[in-house]
Homo-oligomer: A and B are copies of this chain.
C-alpha cells in the first residue's frame, strides 16, 4: 500500500513528506483525492481531501472528477513549528479564496501537488502558481506529475518552487521525466518577513 510506503520513505530519509495526491476510499463507491503528510518519524501529520473537483471539456479531453470523487470540505494547515503550510491539490489552484484563507491563518508556504494537462499547464500553471505566491506573499511548492498516461492523457510537469515575491527559485527541466528528477530550493522565513514588511498587503485586506 502506498501510505506505509510514504511513511517509510519519510522515516528513511528523515524528512517531512507531503505525499500526494492519492486516491483513498471515500463513502460508498466514491474515492477521495487526498494529500497525506508524514513526519520524519513516519507519523501521519495531516490529511487533506481535494475541495474543488474538476469537471470540464479541455482542448485535449473531458474530465468528470465529481462522478467518482467525494470532495473535501475543509482547508487544512500543517503546522511544522516555524512553518505553517497550506495544503491543496491541483485544480484547487484556480480558486484564490483557498490560499487567502491559508494566508489569513499565517501560512508562509503553500503546497500544490498537481497533474495539470499539457494544454492547461502551458496556459496557466506557472502563471497561477506565481500569482498565489505574490498575492499571499508565501512560498509555493508545486510538485507536478509528468508523462503519458493510460487513455492518452499527458501531464505537463514543470514542478517548481516560487518565492514570496513571485520568483521561480527552482524548476524541473522536464528533460529527465522517465528516471525522475528532484527539484530543490532552500526556503527562508526571513524572505517571507522581508516581503511582508516591505509591502504589507496582507494587513491591508478589507473584503472577507
CB within 8 Å of B: which residues of A?
Answer: 51-59, 71, 73, 75, 91, 94-98, 100-101, 120, 123-124, 127-128, 130-131, 134-135, 165-166, 197-201, 204-208
How many identical chains are in the complex?
2
Do B55 and A98 touch across chains, with their CB atoms under 8 A apart? no
Residues of B within 8 A of A206 (CB): 51-52, 71, 73, 95
Q: Which of B94, B97, B134 contacts A127 (CB 8 A)?
A: B134
- Chain B CB within 10 Å, residue with most, of A75, A98, A124, A197: A124
Cβ contact within 8 Å between B166 and A207: no
Give Cα distance in the complex from A56 to B198, angstroms.
6
The minimal Cβ–Cβ distance linking A192 to chain B, given in whole angstroms, is 15
Smallest CB-CB A-B distances: 8 pairs: A131-B131, A96-B96, A56-B199, A97-B207, A94-B201, A52-B204, A51-B206, A57-B198
A98 B207 Cβ-Cβ under 8 A: yes
A134 to B98, alpha carbons, bound, how many Å? 16
Question: Residue of B at shortest CB range from A96?
Answer: B96
- A197 contacts which chain B residues (CB < 8 A)? 57
Nearest CB to that of A94 among chain B residues? B201
